[in-house]
Structure 1
């Protein structure tokens, strides 16, 4: 567990403990797999996951219009797609900023 976990758990409650362990768990559980995967592979998996999330959200919204699913399922799927899209946009912005910073470096 991370050293800040007890402090965060006391300050924020059980939600902080869950968040901190979910961040730390992948590093411990799949250390060899993460080390073997390249950064490009990770970005490719994230991009395909984002596209899948957007497609699922669209399909759920269409099913809702047809009356085949509940409003709660529609809202949940759309909110997940929105979070994924915001994350993808933030990653894109960071990549563009990093490229611009590198291009300004003197050779």
Structure 2
């Protein structure tokens, strides 16, 4: 049975609360939040680059262990694929940074 409107299922306390408006939600989302305790972009970028170098080094070390028979083929493939993804990401970020620099250099002052 479907209850009638205004029946005992209506909870007046729910009606008193309101959802944040779209502009309030956007204002909260626009507030800058530090990532991993970093306070500026250069620290974040530095940490990402250190992680990328560590990933590539790990892939190389696992490859060497695989050649010497100390690591399984699956471990070698996973490490190399991870290093390859990291390298592709670094190249994509570099390309975007160069494109942004070129865009800025073409702007008229």
TM tier, shorter chain? Answer: 0.5 to 0.7
Q: Bigger radius of gyration, 1 or 2?
A: 2
**Divergent runs of 4+, >2 A:** 31-37
In structure 2, runs of 5+ residues without a counterpart are 1-31
TM-score where L is the length of structure 1: 0.67
User: Shift of the alpha carbon at 1:42?
Assistant: 1.1
| Count of aligned residue pairs for this structure pair | 77
Which residue of 37, 45, 53 maps to 1:43? 45
> Partner residue of 2:103?
101
Q: What secondary structure, in the 3-state scheme, does the structure 2 residue paired with 1:68 have?
A: coil
Give me the TM-score of the superposition, normalised by structure 2.
0.66
RMSD value over aligned CA atoms? 1.6
Structure 1 gap ranges (5+): 1-30
- Counterparts of 2:33 and 2:105, CA distance in 1: 33
More helix as a share of residues: 1
